Structure 1
Amino acid sequence: MRAPRRSTPHGETPYSPTSLLRALTANPYDVDTLREEDPSWAEETPPDNRITRTITVLLALLLGFAVAVSVADLRRDAAADDNPRALLEQEVLNSREDIDALDARQGSLEGDIAAAQETVLDDTDSESAQRLRVHEVAAAGTVLSGTGVVLSLEDSVPLPASPGVKEGTINRVTDGDLQIAVNGLWAAGAEAVSINGQRLSATSAIRTAGSAVLVDFRPLSPPYEITALGDPEALQAGVEAAESGDYLSELSTRFGIRTSWTTGTELSVPARALGTLREASPLDPSDPAAGTASQDDARKDSE
């Protein structure tokens, strides 16, 4: 074992905690002298010259280049077509296309069923077929077309931003706004009404879920186009002269909601999906009470 280069008066090395404690208690002024006589601590500090500075700069540049390459790779991976977000968005789009295709097929099949049912009724009982058509029209179960108006409601443009805010707020069209507009059209004499292709009936519901407006539990997106069949001039004048007109005017002037009227001669509203008849029983012409009860039972069993 190598002997220490210098011993204290008590036999310990200058780095021994015991030696420092003894020197401090014996003569405090000798502690600095012991440390100054051992310059080994200074040898551990790297020299400050041009070479060390150049090496430091090169290492910093190399580290910065490695960080920049890593960030670029991460961004490239995030923007790739096979990243999780892009795959999820594509899956949502594909699901929507499948839903639209299924809706179109459902409408086609319902049309075929209605045509077959009408053919059978025409061959057997023409009066029943006529009554069925009247009830289907009242229940919004048939496609209607003719003259009418289209009332469009759209969210406001971004309002002026406040100091320190980049973008201003946007006033959205709510379910209450659509309810008032639709009720105004019904009161003005509309024969049939639809919103963005969704037919409305006496049992339709216009609600909201989060930021989406639902019509019979189907989400809609702005602009909201309300198609109403009837006399165009009478419909527009009736809405503007009633409380619904004042409400729509206040929406436009106070909140910036954009409203517009369009008339048309070949407007069309789709049919509303009707329930499926699960069970039915024949009517007894000789018993009016039994016939009424049978009709009620058939209505209860239909969905």
Structure 2
Amino acid sequence: MADTRERPPEHALPEHVTTPLLTLITARSMDEDYAHVAQKRAAAGESVVPRARPHWVSLVAVAVLGVMAAVVVAQTNREAGVDELSRAALIERIEAQSGQLADLQRDVGEVTRANQDVASNSTVVQGQLEDLSTRVRRAELNTGFAPVHGPGVRFTIDNRPGIDVDTEIRDEDLATLVDGLWAAGAEAIAINDQRLNVLGGIRNTGRAVHVNGRPVLAPYVVSAIGDPRTLEARLLQTSEGQTWFGLVDLLDTLYSSENVDDIRLPAAPERPLRDVIELNADPAGVQEGEGSAP
């Protein structure tokens, strides 16, 4: 009879081919490592059977770790209360500082508004001061209490040599010329650099002529600021001017005039006012309406 048992195929695949790759790598890697270590120990004459380490070392290590964990937990629990108190104190301090900051911010706002009000008032006051300064300068120009310059006419008057006292130029003669110049349109007048205004005067003391209380000597230089093209002609048209030119002919006075492009006159000397009070002011010097409610 023929043998019917199955025979393995002649070309059956080896085990390392049919085994899964991951299993094969793990098994062979571990086996080769163990074999390598065993060979080294055998060569050194050591036993290839590993010695078991005593288990009490592991127990001690576990016990130490347990004690350390317990200490950490206890320390954490003990410091938890302190941390909570510190946190509460910090929150309270922050709230207090926040309140102080709010107060400071409110104060800063009030100071800022006050500064803005002061700046606004300062602007108003500055405008008022500038207006007052303009009015003062204009008043000084009109009253003669400010130095001025401008075009005009300069008159030179002198006595002829050898005349007697009765024919000398006197204060009233110069006053007649000055009045005629005012009437002719002169804006500022000075005699020998003594500026004339309503508080000044021309008078004789003996034979000397005084202007603003100060003596002046001949020749008398009368400087008048005004339109040089018309000032002298208009002087001749006034009654005072006609009287003046009549005196010049009668007294045989030396007289000359010249047009000047820029005459510079000083300010009139100031005199304190003792009895004059502003029209809209009471005797105490307070204007009407000041200090009363609108």
Larger-Rg structure: 2
TM-score using structure 1 length: 0.47
TM-score, normalized by length of structure 2? 0.49
Asked which structure has the greater RCO (Cα within 8 Å, sep 6+), the reply is: 2
